[in-house]
Structure 1
Amino acid sequence: MDPKLAAIIIHDIKNSLGNLEGELRRLTDDVPRAQQAHVTCLALQEKLIAFLTLYKADSQGLRAQVEALSPLDFLQSLLREHQANRNGHGAQIVIDPANMPMVGFFDEHLVALALEAALQNASRFARTRIELGCQKNPAGGLIFTVHDDGPGVGAQEKKPSTGLGMDLCNAIATAHNKESQQGEARLSNHPDGGALFQLCLP
């Protein structure tokens, strides 16, 4: 892993810990503050998991444990967990069942990490809605998608991210390989507006 990237990630985690400590110090019976402290803690936990996954990919290589799974069941479970952790705050998140295959072959744990990172990114920009989907890849395999209704790729953030999310998604995508094919993570502008994240798996 690039030492500069590692330093940025560790610095970001340090700042998040500082924010959490401050929120918890001020926390008494203030329910909104309790909710914000919980969200901060979850975000920090996700950053640490992402960092450790990337570290493993860089030092040992990341291998996908591919299983036959229902993409719809998988996305519904992911959405339930995401919404439970966020207490219903933020943009509405829906699943688009159009053209979704009955069965797909992928690593449930790794793909969940990638899509959670994509959802975190989409949540920073979405105005009202985020859409999850999964379609067959014409080249074979699957394409998981996260589409938000925000300003699109290239929009400025008040608090810039570390870029850890896309690095993580690329590591997870490339861990999925089949013969000469390898997975790929993409981020682009959707023709109808907003950003479109695609996790392409062979």
Structure 2
Amino acid sequence: MNRLFLRFSILVMLSISVATIAVYVVIRSFFGDPLEEVAQQQAAGQVFLLTQYVDQAGPDEWLVRLNKIREITHSKLELISLQSALLQVAAEKKAQFMRGDVVIDIAGKSFYRRVDLHGQRYIGSDEEVLHAQELPIDVIPVIRTEVLRYIIVAFCLLIPIAIWSSAHWRGLQALEKVADEFGEGHLKIRAQTRESDSIHPLAQRMNQMAARIEGLLDAQKNLLHSVSHELRTPIARLEFGLELLRNAASDPKLETRAAAMEADLLELNALVTELLSLSKLDQQPALKLSEFVVADCLRACLDGLQHELSGFKLDTLFLDEVGCMTGDQRLLARAVSNLLRNAGKYASGHIALTLTKNDDGDIIIMLDDDGPGIPAQEREQIFNAFYRLDRSRDRATGGFGLGLAITHKAIQAHGGRISVEDSPMGGARFVVCLPATPEAVAGTT
């Protein structure tokens, strides 16, 4: 049963229940209790004998005829005092009772009626009440009939609703699947619906939105990739001309200027390399999957950055129980190295790298530093390309705001996630959570 139909069913049943109660209350307010009318019809025989036979007798015959009725009827007829009857009659019916009318007690299957209002039947008859019990009153079949009637009405409403909602539900599930696949990066996916489907206009708008997003992303990727490649040629020419200039120059000032130009070229070359790496990750790269020891991968990252991290106190804790994982070792090493470089830029003097497993069997890599930390409002944005906490963008701090973006995409390509927290050391803590075996990797080789 789909959730749409379930919700409609609950809504219909609640509506019918409220309508039933409302109808009963309105009818009771304007015309009296319909159940009491049914009870009066069921007790009509005993009431008829009382009014048309017993009450027609003279003053000396009233009790005689009442005793004859007691002998032939299955009901129990007894005389009780007026005060006792007033205690048993419902408050809203006491006025009717005092007027001498028959008052039905549905729950007790009985009725009450005063013998006489003026004491004309016999002495003291105005202070006595006839209480008829064990009457053939049974409103349960009537209630069951009404309930069955409303159930039939409910089913007659729910059957077409079920047919209608089933088609809607299948269409919504198809759109949900398309949205999930599109969110996972399959930008070519589109919703397929017929023009007669009720959700066809929604699917068309969704397809238009997807096509627009795909076009924008493709244009961005193509521009990034083209610019990166086009920059390679002038950079190569500048490097060649700079080398010629250095060989021909003898002026120390010119050599200093050439060295500065060379540093600018190296920085520009590094930027192009980072842009190309980011562009490849945006295009859903084919991961070169292999099984490797995670701790060995982290040690290799530390060895490769030994010079950059030489001035820091470096603590490591690699648990042996982590063991191996399946993934792209080169890409994962690139992500961890970017995190270590980032820690090296901002840490005051202490860095800690930890490798553990959580209760679900996921691999957890934590990197702590004692730097200034990252403000909570910027922890999501630091993984965007070209976003930097340090807005100066000078060479002293280094970087282009691409390292964490590349790390984020590399972790996502492995089906993992990365987050930022406050570190016990006072700075930032980067937490990487990786499945031991990637669950969804597009285009693996």
Q: TM-score range by the shorter chain?
A: 0.5 to 0.7
- Alpha-carbon contact 2:370-2:427 (below 8 Å) kept: yes
Q: Are 1:79 and 2:302 counterparts?
A: yes
Aligned counterpart, 2:324: 103
TM-score of the pair, normalised by structure 2: 0.33
Aligned counterpart, 2:199: none
What count of residue pairs does the alignment treat as equivalent? Answer: 175
**1:27 Cα deviation (Å)?**
9.0
Q: Higher helix share goes to which structure? A: 2
Give the 3-state SS of the residue equivalent to 1:75 in structure 2. helix
Cα 1:148–1:108 shift into 2, 3 Å? same
> 1:149 aligned to 361, 370, 384, which one?
370
In structure 2, C-alpha distance between the alignment counterparts of 1:166 and 1:149, rounded to whole Å:
18
In structure 2, C-alpha distance between the alignment counterparts of 1:146 and 1:47, rounded to whole Å:
25
In structure 2, C-alpha distance between the alignment counterparts of 1:80 and 1:127, rounded to whole Å:
20
1:145-184 → structure 2 map (5 Å cutoff)? 145-154=366-375, 157=390, 159-160=392-393, 162-176=400-414, 182-184=415-417
- Return the structure number with greater relative CO, CA threshold 8 A, min gap 6: 1
Cα 1:114–1:25 shift into 2, 3 Å? farther
Q: Which moved more, 1:44-53 or 1:89-98?
A: 44-53
Structure 2 counterpart of 1:193, one-letter code: G
1:23-102 → structure 2 map (5 Å cutoff)? 25-26=255-256, 41=266, 47-59=271-283, 61-84=284-307, 86=308, 89-98=310-319, 101-102=322-323
Structure 2 counterpart of 1:68, one-letter code: E
Structure 1 counterpart of 2:278, one-letter code: L
In structure 2, C-alpha distance between the alignment counterparts of 1:127 and 1:98, rounded to whole Å:
26
1:122-133 → structure 2 map (5 Å cutoff)? 122-133=343-354
Cα 1:162–1:25 shift into 2, 3 Å? same
Query: Whose radius of gyration is greater, 1 or 2?
Result: 2
Cα 1:89–1:49 shift into 2, 3 Å? same
- Alpha-carbon contact 2:354-2:367 (below 8 Å) kept: yes
In structure 1, C-alpha distance between the alignment counterparts of 2:317 and 2:331, rounded to whole Å:
21
TM-score of the pair, normalised by structure 1: 0.67
Give the root-mean-square deviation of aligned CA atoms: 3.8
Structure 2 counterpart of 1:110, one-letter code: L
Q: Higher strand share goes to which structure? A: 1
In structure 1, C-alpha distance between the alignment counterparts of 2:270 and 2:355, rounded to whole Å:
23
In structure 2, C-alpha distance between the alignment counterparts of 1:69 and 1:96, rounded to whole Å:
18
In structure 2, C-alpha distance between the alignment counterparts of 1:75 and 1:45, rounded to whole Å:
27
Structure 2 segments unaligned to the other structure (5+ residues)? 1-216, 236-241, 243-253, 379-388, 394-398, 436-445
- Alpha-carbon contact 2:315-2:352 (below 8 Å) kept: yes
- Alpha-carbon contact 2:271-2:400 (below 8 Å) kept: no
**1:70 Cα deviation (Å)?**
1.5
Structure 1 counterpart of 2:421, one-letter code: S
Aligned counterpart, 2:156: none
In structure 2, C-alpha distance between the alignment counterparts of 1:45 and 1:105, rounded to whole Å:
32
**1:173 Cα deviation (Å)?**
1.2
- Alpha-carbon contact 2:422-2:428 (below 8 Å) kept: yes
